[in-house]
Amino acid sequence: MSKQTVIKPLNAISEKGLNLFTEDYLIDENASQPDAIILRSFNMHDMELPSSLRAIGRAGAGVNNIPLDVCTDKGIPVFNTPGANANAVKELVITSLIASSRQMFDGVAWAKTLIGKGDDVPKLVEEGKKQFVGKEIQGKTLGVIGLGAIGARVANDALELGMDVIGYDPFISVDMAWKLSRAVKRVHNIDELFKEVDYISIHVPLIPETKGLLNKAAFDKMKDNVYILNFSRGGLIDDDDIAVALEEGTVGKYITDFPNAKTLEMKNTISIPHLGASSEESEENCAMMAAEELMEYLETGNIRNSVNFPDAALPYQGHPRVTAFHKNVPKMVSKITSEVSDVNLNIVDMTNRSYKDHAYTIIDLEGDIAESDFGALVKRLEGIEGMVTTRVIK
Ligand SMILES: NC(=O)C1=CN([C@@H]2O[C@H](COP(=O)(O)OP(=O)(O)OC[C@H]3O[C@@H](n4cnc5c(N)ncnc54)[C@H](O)[C@@H]3O)[C@@H](O)[C@H]2O)C=CC1
Ligand SMILES: O=C(O)C(=O)COP(=O)(O)O
């Protein structure tokens, strides 16, 4: 890279991650024309994407804060960091499961009200504690919706704590299926989970298919006094419906990492200020992984852990490289390779991978190639119908 590549952080990103960027990069939070953006939960939906933007790295899991379709249309890969914050979230889920079950949040808040009561405090504590008799989780049943990096960990650890666990995930990955304890009872109909469990922890992405997944129809199928833990996204739960369920006692407690004006006022709701991934370790893991993914893409065109591009990588051995992001339609690869041979260039290695409606091709070329030959090739590639973006790396 001849000039410095500009990285714009949109949130506070762990120094450990930012420090991985070499001297070829400039970290500038005020950049107006960055090559890449690195962020956490910053909402990019209302933001105009800079014309210079070539890649986005989400230091975290959820990407509902990023306009994925717009990025795909513009040929901008969005990366995330699968699993890098999963332990942090799991620890907070398990903590909250036990703490809410033992009425600890309410008890702790009540204890604060005793400030100023002087020597009466110990006596008031002993008299008042009967309001906060809780339940142990051992022997109870937990339902885990979504058995990905977080859900699988929560399910396995809940078993270790003596719970019975029912899991639901129609799209579970092979990797996660291997990691999940065989003692987790998997159901293929979410209603079976609803009717059996004492606690529900939801660990799915917020996408159109999951919006409002826990709503009146779902609450109506649950046992009375079920506890709901939401460390995924606020939009997964229908706020109006859960408000009613909390009033009526169908839902006994709602523990949310995503409070809003409505939930803050709801009965029996524990509000946590989105702390799931806020541990030093997780912030470092996510930032480092996002930085590595961005650098690999910017320097070699290889794609790892993108949510809108296919994973595609060729070992980078210094050959001049051309990458193309294009529509996933028949004959694309043959059109690309025939343009390469028409300008008398020889292919050393190539890969083509597809994801949904798009595909990504990496081609390594032989020899020293004149600037003008590259120019001619790129022009021809860009003329192919269905081509979105091309890049030359040398
Ligand atoms: N509170 C916090 O700070 C954090 C919250 N999150 C949230 O948690 C979510 C899950 O994170 P990970 O486990 O790391 O992601 P993941 O991608 O490893 O797991 C998500 C799982 O949900 C499953 N799934 C998708 N649609 C489903 C459906 N309709 N029903 C059941 N399962 C479905 C997928 O098959 C996958 O196994 C993220 O999308 C994010 O919104 C993630 C990290 C931190
Ligand atoms: O990774 C996720 O999906 C999270 O919700 C974590 O968000 P954060 O990076 O803590 O703003």
Ligand that comes closest to the CA of residue 173: 1
Whose CA is closest to atom 10 on ligand 2?
277
Q: How confident is the model at residue 394 (pLDDT cuts 50, 70, 90)?
A: confident
* CA distance linking residue 146 with residue 230, whole number of Å: 12
Is the per-residue pLDDT at 367 higher than 90?
A: no
Name the residue at shortest CA distance from atom 8 of ligand 1: 232
- Matching CATH topology for 1-80+280-308 and 310-393? no
Q: Spell out the alpha helix ranges (H) of the chain.
A: 15-18, 68-74, 86-101, 104-112, 121-128, 149-160, 174-179, 190-196, 216-221, 239-248, 261-264, 280-300, 332-342, 371-382
Mean pLDDT of 123-140: 98
Q: Which of 207, 232, 272, 289 to mutate to test the pocket of ligand 1 (most atoms within 8 A of CB)?
A: 232
Measure Cα distances from 40 to 26, 37, 144, 149, 264 in Å: 19, 10, 25, 18, 23
Q: Cα–Cα distance between 93 and 161 in angstroms, integer?
A: 13
Instruction: Name which residue sits closest to atom 36 of ligand 1, judged by CA.
Output: 148
pLDDT at position 46, please? 94
> Using one digit for the tens of pLDDT, what is the confidence trace for 90-104?
999 999 999 999 999
In the sheet that holds 387-393, the strands lie side by side as 347-355, 358-365, 321-327, 387-393
Residue whose pair of structure tokens reads 């541990």 in the numeric block? 279
Ordered by start, the domain boundaries in the chain are 1-80+280-308, 86-271, 310-393
What's the fold here for domain 86-271? Rossmann fold (3.40.50)
What is the ipTM metric for this complex? 0.99
Please check whether the domain covering 1-80+280-308 is classified as CATH 3.90.180.10. Answer: no
Ligand 1: which residues within 6 Å by Cβ? 60-62, 82, 85-86, 89, 145-151, 168-173, 176, 203-206, 209-210, 231-233, 257, 274, 276-277
Which of the four pLDDT bands, split at 50, 70 and 90, describes residue 1?
A: very low
Atom of ligand 2 nearest to the CA of 275: 10
Q: Quote the CA–CA distance of 394 and 392 in Å, as a whole number.
A: 7
Q: Output the CA 5–ligand 2 centroid distance in Å.
A: 26
pLDDT band at 2 (very low <50, low <70, confident <90, very high): low
Is 268 close to ligand 2, i.e. is its CB under 6 Å away?
no
Strand, coil or helix: 80: coil
Q: Tell me what percent of the residues of the chain surpass a pLDDT of 90.
A: 97
Q: Which amino acid is at 48?
A: E
> Which DSSP category does 131 fall into?
G
CA-to-CA dists, residue 139 to 163, 225, 250, 338, angstroms: 5, 16, 20, 65
Distance 40 CA to ligand 2 centre (A): 6
225 Cα–ligand 2 center, Å: 29
Q: Percentage of the chain surpassing pLDDT 70?
A: 99
* 111: Cβ contacts below 8 Å, ≥ 6 apart: 125
Please check the confidence at residue 3 and state whether its pLDDT lies above 90: no
Architecture of domain 310-393 in CATH?
2-Layer Sandwich (3.30)
The CA distance from 338 to 279, in Å, is 51
Cβ 306 vs Cβ 78: under 8 Å: yes
